[in-house]
Amino acid sequence: MRSSNSGKPTLLIVDDQVLNLHILSHIFQVDHTIRTATSGQQALDACEQELPDLVLLDVVMPGMNGHQVCAYLKANPRTRDVPIIFVTGQNNPEEESVGLALGAADFISKPVNAAVVRARVRGQLLLRQTLREVRDLNENLEARVAQRTQELEQALEALRQSQEQLAHSEAQATLSTLIASVSHEMGTPLGNAGMLAGTLWDQTKDFQRDAQAGSLTRSRLNQYLAQMAEGTELLRNNLARAVELLEDFHQVATDQASEQRRPFDLAEVVSEVLRTLSPSLKRYPHRIQVEIPPGITMDSHPGALGQILINLVNNAYLHAFEGRSQGELTFRAQAQGDRVTITVADNGVGMPQERMDKMFQPFFSTKIGQGGTGLGMAIVQNLVTKALGGRITVQSTVGEGTQFHIVLPRQAPESTPSAIK
């Protein structure tokens, strides 16, 4: 409640009759600070100097009457919330109606009853104090809500950045795993090639010694040529295998790292990704089938598509085939106009509906701490919807298996946001 320096509510009493001013002042002087005005203009000037807590206003006054004063105060943003009680000798419903319509809070007829007028004023002051407290609470609440909203937005932004960093880390970890598995796999053909090269070199030195000693025979020549032919074929096969692994990995790694779009054949990209994964999957008894016909061309982001396939394979091997001695994962694709549907199906353990409802949520995993990060399927959905402009759905039956259906435009959207940074 606004009050004077004395701590008491301030009343402005406006009446052109000094006797009426004296009577009302006497009624309220004990527990209120009293200010008076004998005209409408004086009342307005007094409100401009210091805002009262309540105005007791006569209606009939020379010059500016009470109705005009009330209208002016209610039109002024600074004074419109100050309650006004008309105190007038014109005791009729029409006058009261006009006063209330102008915004007055109450209407009291003269001669006043001290107890009644004190009660009316006390009620209006209490109401104003309550309204002010409610307004202050609302303002504080709005400020707290705004502050809390800002804090939540900052927390969400931090979470989004953390999720992107984790997604990037997982993508980098996938690439590192591919590097390690391909490096290990290349060790066999390169090791064989090195051993064969050494053997061929030894055989060549033996042949040269025989030639220099003049002890060459046709049978020795034929033997050497046969050894060279066999060794060279084995060397060529091992080097070809190493080159094939390197080319597959180079294309997959380039696509993963660049995030660039390019035209490609879907069957070729799927085969490249799966061949690159094969070294790390050899230790499992499960089998991967590819039933994608050649000729389904796309102009899209093979890196994002490769990450999707890798995550789906990892998800199947980690979750779908748990407890299964032999599992089968099948990749199918069908072109329909400007769209292509890729189906990844397994004959694994399946999952209940409540798990399907959560599987694309970040950090949801039944294998946290056991090889699962909870980000793999969230990344899949993010890549499908944002990077490739498609959609992904899942169907599953407990005990029978799971199918992922990915519908993609054959030509990716022009303004494709990077899904992993």
Looking up tokens 């002010």, which residue turns up?
Answer: 132
309 is a domain residue:
yes
219 is a domain residue:
no
Alpha-carbon distance 46 to 13, whole Å? 10
- Is 375 in contact with 411 (CB distance < 8 Å)? no
Positions of the chain with pLDDT lower than 50, given as ranges: 1-2, 251-252, 255-257, 371, 416-421
| pLDDT of the residue at 41 | 94
Q: Which of 77, 112, 147 lies at the terminal end of a domain, its last residue?
A: 112
Alpha-carbon distance 91 to 54, whole Å? 21
| pLDDT of the residue at 420 | 42
Number of domains forming the structure of the chain:
2
Alpha-carbon distance 254 to 362, whole Å? 27
Which residues are bridge partners to 109 per DSSP?
Answer: 88
| pLDDT of the residue at 417 | 44
Please give the residue range of the domain that contains residue 360.
Answer: 259-421
Q: Which of 112, 131, 155 lies at the terminal end of a domain, its last residue?
A: 112
| pLDDT of the residue at 419 | 47
Structure tokens at 413: 């959207």
Structure tokens at 222: 């034929």
> Rounded to 5 degrees, what are φ and ψ at 65?
-80, 175
What are the C-alpha distances in Å from 412 to residues 231, 378, 394, 408? 48, 20, 22, 8
391 is a domain residue:
yes
Q: How many CA atoms lie within 13 A of 347 on its CB side?
A: 10
CATH number at residue 284: 3.30.565.10
Alpha-carbon distance 371 to 297, whole Å? 35
| pLDDT of the residue at 1 | 46
Looking up tokens 């050649």, which residue turns up?
Answer: 294
| pLDDT of the residue at 247 | 56
Whole-structure pTM value? 0.46
- Is 371 in contact with 328 (CB distance < 8 Å)? no
Q: What angle do CA 213, 218, 223 make, to 5 degrees?
A: 95
Q: How many CA atoms lie within 13 A of 61 on its CB side?
A: 27
Give the residue from 364, 360, 405 showing the smallest Cα distance to 379.
Answer: 360
289 is a domain residue:
yes
What is the rounded radius of gyration, in angstroms, for the C-alpha atoms of the chain?
44
126 is a domain residue:
no
Alpha-carbon distance 308 to 166, whole Å? 16
Q: Which of 77, 93, 112 lies at the terminal end of a domain, its last residue?
A: 112
Q: Is the peptide bond before 409 cis (omega within 30 degrees of 0)?
A: no
Structure tokens at 21: 């001013």
- How many beta carbons lie within 10 A of that of residue 208, not counting itself? 10
CATH number at residue 35: 3.40.50.2300
Q: What is the 3-state secondary structure (H, E, C) of the chain?
A: CCCCCCCCCEEEEECCCHHHHHHHHHHHCCCCEEEEECCHHHHHHHHHHCCCCEEEECCCCCCCCHHHHHHHHHHCCCCCCCCEEEEECCCCHHHHHHHHHCCCCEEEECCCCHHHHHHHHHHHHHHHHHHHHHHHHHHHHHHHHHHHHHHHHHHHHHHHHHHHHHHHHHHHHHHHHHHHHHHHHHHHHHHHHHHHHHHHHHHHHHHHHHHHHCCCCHHHHHHHHHHHHHHHHHHHHHHHHHHHHHHHHHHHHHHHHHCCCEEEEHHHHHHHHHHHHHHHHCCCCCEEEEECCCCCEEEECHHHHHHHHHHHHHHHHHHHCCCCCCCEEEEEEEEECCEEEEEEEECCCCCCHHHHHHCCCCCCCCCECCCECCCHHHHHHHHHHHHCCCEEEEEEECCCEEEEEEEEECECCCCCCCCCC
Structure tokens at 30: 């004990």
Alpha-carbon distance 39 to 66, whole Å? 9
Q: At what angle do helices 114-213 and 266-281 cross, to 10 degrees?
A: 80
337 is a domain residue:
yes
Instruction: Taking the CA atoms of 259, 261, 267 and 271 in sequence, report the sign of the dihedral they define.
Output: negative
197 is a domain residue:
no
130 is a domain residue:
no
